[in-house]
Structure 1
Amino acid sequence: MKRTAVAPFVLATALVLAACGSNAGSPTSAGPSATADVGRAATVTPVDAGVLQAARTEGEVLLYTNSEEQQMTPMIKAFEAANPGIEVRSLTLGNQEMFQRYETEVASGGSTADVVMSSDAVGWLSFLRGGNVADYTDPNTPNLPDYALLGKGVYAFSEDPVIAVFNKAVLPENKQPTSMAELAKMAPQLDGKIGATAISNVIQFGATSAYLDKYGDAGWQTLERIGAHAGLESDNGPLVTKLAQGQYAAAFFVSGAVRAFIVGDVAKVVNYRYLTDGTPLLPRAAAVTSQAKHPNAAKVWLNWLLSTKGQEAACAGGFTPYRDGVKCAFGLPQVKAIVGEDNLIIGAYDPALATEQPRIVARFNKAFGR
């Protein structure tokens, strides 16, 4: 499957260029806002002194991630400032590519990733079955919500919502749907003006499967009504480019990572919404690998990711923190305040996804004329 998030520079470039030639006016609201109580700072349990000392002796940690450099940089800088003596090296790869690369490197006896970071649920399930995740329980585990532990040793560090994005010049804000049900009702009049990514995209599959898990056949009916009037793009890059240019008026199940870049001139062209019945939150996970060459440094990195400071740094990279006490303009409390707690759809790495995937893919493609 393809990389999950649109590269920030691709989004920013496409939308800024469109904004420069737009007469859409100054932005009234780039996206939804809500006053949300983030609560008291969550309890943080660091690794023990022995692990920390061993990590400093190792001196580095290698990450394989599906996140772009712009997203990782704030996290890496904050980690290295908090943990002098441990250098972070990060390599951005596609989801399938990173899992395959790890297995190939292990088979050949070469060095490989100490930590894998991905949002590909099916990929993680296969990686776990292959014995590629270290048997490690982070000290923060008792302090985390149940949904944060996705499998033995696999932890969510971000709960990324998918969003709906609109071209305000084509579809003014006061006419934009606020739910998937409304989008489906409007679909005939927006014929050909609704866009989404193909189901081969990790974000699309994750969002679709989570949405259907909550709404079942009624969810399929909504998707089929939209699909009859929608176009699919291979990835987020072409999707947001066409949206910025006005070929699409609306796009749904778009990676929430783009929220941080819908500002300034970009916000003159587009805005985003959390659809009240269609905002699945997809866990972005991290795990220490079973063949890590720097296992202690890897544990320190993961432990820090799950701390309040780590979650704040993740927010700076456009990720969605979920721990209490983390100040972030688009953290989980803000999403919950807008869509309502009863409407939260938090994805999980359910083993059934692997067997259900072909059926979901086939029906989705039929609904969207593929």
Structure 2
Amino acid sequence: MRRTALLPLALTAALTLAACGSNAGDSTTSQPSATADVGQASAVTPVDAATLAAAKKEGEVLLYTNSEDQQMTPLIKAFEAANPGIKVRSLTLGNKEMFQRYETEVASGGSTGDVIMSSDAVGWLSFLQGGNVLKYEDPNQANLPDYAVLAPGLYAFSEDPVIAVFNKALLPEAKQPKTMAELATMAPQLDGKIGATDISNVIQFGATSAYLDKYGDAGWKTLETIGAHAAVESDNGPLVTKLAQGQYAAAFFVSGNVRAFIVDDVAKVVNYTYLTDGTPLLPRGIGVTTKAAHPNAAKVWLNWLLSVKGQEAACQGGFTPYRDGVKCDFGLAQVTAIVGKDNLLVGTYDPSLASGGPALISRFNKAFGR
């Protein structure tokens, strides 16, 4: 999917429509639950006074993001309330589009984005290689887990899990698989009723890479078994629409952003689960650009997004906060309490993602009849 954040909009519209008149269930929510210890919030680590003063003179920051307005609005409102005098302009672009736009604008001498936020690991690797990310060490870094630092100056804004999603009318909750291995065992009985997104989708690519990092050849056998009985959609929009309409009973490696939208009428038709034999976590990278017109405002914005307050606002947008002390039904602490720390497959921006990408794509396409 070029913009994974389109998924909540598609899901809400499609599933709410499908829920009308459904007797699949009466739940007002449809989510895994666990008591999660979120830990203690660390001390606030803001930017220095000189950077903040310069940021207020600049007055604004331009963000290129793969997230839609409805996701970003809670963050922008909270940031601007905490930092009067600094406005955030958010421009939603496709993952590849935002990197290309930045490079084109820089080449032409025009103004461009101050901060980029994207889930595209391979896109980030190329962007980093081009020297386009400011090697800025944010004051929050000392309080972040090691996996949150993706490269010098590049941080994980959120650690978003991928999930399995089910149509409850076609596959009752008691029969729904909890692991990829179970889904593979059931695949012959679900022939043609399993959906997935194309490997060109950054979520599918990232999740598949993380899954195979753990399971190797055994993981490929699982995927090949599923692939023989699955259909592939171009992106998550058509996938969840067809699942809601009953064309699919199950879909796997779906963006975890949909969790916040599976409530009320939607939850009468659909539910989701974390995969307990391995839930991939995909970092949503964020960094200040080297040619930012408002570099100080960009640093203040990044610093706030990585703070506990920023992570709390991220939860309101459906993102997955990972910092200690952040209470969120969809936070990393909650996911960990359900699947266990050993079953979190934390994605990275390792260069092998780019070098090994063509072979992975080719084998995936063969497994899924592409």
Please state which band the TM-score falls in when normalised by the shorter chain: over 0.9
Residue 6 of structure 2 contacts residue 67 of structure 2 at CA under 8 Å; is this kept in 1? Answer: no
Residue 223 (structure 2) aligns with: 223
Q: CA deviation at 1:11?
A: 1.1
Q: CA deviation at 1:8?
A: 2.1
Residue 10 of structure 1 contacts residue 237 of structure 1 at CA under 8 Å; is this kept in 2? Answer: yes
Alignment of 1:143-154 (within 5 A): 143-154=143-154
- Say which is worse superposed, 217-226 or 2-11, in terms of deviation: 2-11
Alignment of 1:258-337 (within 5 A): 258-337=258-337
Q: CA deviation at 1:201?
A: 0.3
Secondary structure at the aligned position of 2:139 is classed as: coil
Aligned AA for 1:214? K
Q: CA deviation at 1:144?
A: 0.8
Q: Return the alpha-carbon distance in structure 1 between the equivalents of residues 15 and 42 of structure 2.
A: 37
Q: Tell me whether 1:46 sits opposite 2:43 in the alignment.
A: no
Residue 232 of structure 1 contacts residue 368 of structure 1 at CA under 8 Å; is this kept in 2? Answer: yes
- Say which is worse superposed, 342-351 or 28-37, in terms of deviation: 28-37
Q: CA deviation at 1:29?
A: 5.1
Aligned AA for 1:260? A
Q: Return the alpha-carbon distance in structure 2 between the equivalents of residues 276 and 7 of structure 1.
A: 23
Q: Return the alpha-carbon distance in structure 2 between the equivalents of residues 86 and 176 of structure 1.
A: 48
Q: Return the alpha-carbon distance in structure 1 between the equivalents of residues 43 and 247 of structure 2.
A: 48
Residue 207 (structure 2) aligns with: 207
Q: CA deviation at 1:114?
A: 0.2
Residue 336 of structure 1 contacts residue 344 of structure 1 at CA under 8 Å; is this kept in 2? Answer: yes
Residue 249 (structure 2) aligns with: 249
1:38-58: CA deviations, max 9, x gaps?
011133311000000000000
Q: Return the alpha-carbon distance in structure 2 between the equivalents of residues 170 and 198 of structure 1.
A: 23
Secondary structure at the aligned position of 2:356 is classed as: helix
1:64-111: CA deviations, max 9, x gaps?
000011110000000000000000000000000000000000000000
Q: Tell me whether 1:134 sits opposite 2:134 in the alignment.
A: yes
1:178-236: CA deviations, max 9, x gaps?
10000000000000000010000000000000110111111111100100000000011
Percent sequence identity is 80
1:274-304: CA deviations, max 9, x gaps?
0101310000011000000000000000000
Alignment of 1:151-170 (within 5 A): 151-170=151-170
Q: CA deviation at 1:23?
A: 1.9
What is the TM-score normalised by the length of structure 1? 0.99
Q: Return the alpha-carbon distance in structure 1 between the equivalents of residues 43 and 214 of structure 2.
A: 31
Q: Return the alpha-carbon distance in structure 1 between the equivalents of residues 52 and 335 of structure 2.
A: 35
Q: Return the alpha-carbon distance in structure 2 between the equivalents of residues 334 and 46 of structure 1.
A: 27
Secondary structure at the aligned position of 1:62 is classed as: strand
Residue 189 (structure 2) aligns with: 189
Q: Return the alpha-carbon distance in structure 2 between the equivalents of residues 5 and 366 of structure 1.
A: 28
Residue 162 of structure 1 contacts residue 253 of structure 1 at CA under 8 Å; is this kept in 2? Answer: yes
- Name stretches of at least 5 consecutive residues in structure 1 with no aligned partner: none
Residue 6 of structure 1 contacts residue 255 of structure 1 at CA under 8 Å; is this kept in 2? Answer: no
Q: CA deviation at 1:175?
A: 0.3
Q: Return the alpha-carbon distance in structure 1 between the equivalents of residues 74 and 28 of structure 2.
A: 28
Aligned AA for 1:248? Y
1:296-341: CA deviations, max 9, x gaps?
0000000001100000000000000000000100100110111111
Residue 44 of structure 1 contacts residue 143 of structure 1 at CA under 8 Å; is this kept in 2? Answer: no
Secondary structure at the aligned position of 1:323 is classed as: coil
Residue 76 (structure 1) aligns with: 76
Q: Return the alpha-carbon distance in structure 2 between the equivalents of residues 27 and 288 of structure 1.
A: 43
Aligned AA for 2:230? A
Aligned AA for 2:268? K
CA RMSD of superposed structures (Å): 0.9
Q: Return the alpha-carbon distance in structure 2 between the equivalents of residues 341 and 14 of structure 1.
A: 34
Residue 281 of structure 2 contacts residue 346 of structure 2 at CA under 8 Å; is this kept in 1? Answer: yes
Q: CA deviation at 1:21?
A: 3.3
Q: Return the alpha-carbon distance in structure 1 between the equivalents of residues 332 and 43 of structure 2.
A: 17
Q: Return the alpha-carbon distance in structure 2 between the equivalents of residues 184 and 176 of structure 1.
A: 12
What is the TM-score normalised by the length of structure 2? 0.99
Residue 166 of structure 1 contacts residue 272 of structure 1 at CA under 8 Å; is this kept in 2? Answer: yes
Residue 314 of structure 1 contacts residue 321 of structure 1 at CA under 8 Å; is this kept in 2? Answer: yes
Residue 356 (structure 1) aligns with: 356
- Say which is worse superposed, 136-145 or 318-327, in terms of deviation: 136-145
Secondary structure at the aligned position of 1:140 is classed as: helix
Q: Return the alpha-carbon distance in structure 1 between the equivalents of residues 104 and 317 of structure 2.
A: 30
Residue 57 (structure 2) aligns with: 57
Q: Return the alpha-carbon distance in structure 2 between the equivalents of residues 190 and 145 of structure 1.
A: 40
1:140-194: CA deviations, max 9, x gaps?
1111100000011000010000000000000000000010000000000000000
Secondary structure at the aligned position of 1:365 is classed as: helix
Q: CA deviation at 1:25?
A: 2.7
Q: Tell me whether 1:89 sits opposite 2:125 in the alignment.
A: no
Aligned length: 370
Secondary structure at the aligned position of 2:312 is classed as: helix
Residue 30 of structure 1 contacts residue 271 of structure 1 at CA under 8 Å; is this kept in 2? Answer: yes
- Name stretches of at least 5 consecutive residues in structure 2 with no aligned partner: none
Residue 239 (structure 1) aligns with: 239
Residue 3 of structure 1 contacts residue 201 of structure 1 at CA under 8 Å; is this kept in 2? Answer: no
Aligned AA for 2:88? V
Aligned AA for 1:139? P
Q: Return the alpha-carbon distance in structure 1 between the equivalents of residues 234 and 40 of structure 2.
A: 42
Secondary structure at the aligned position of 2:220 is classed as: helix
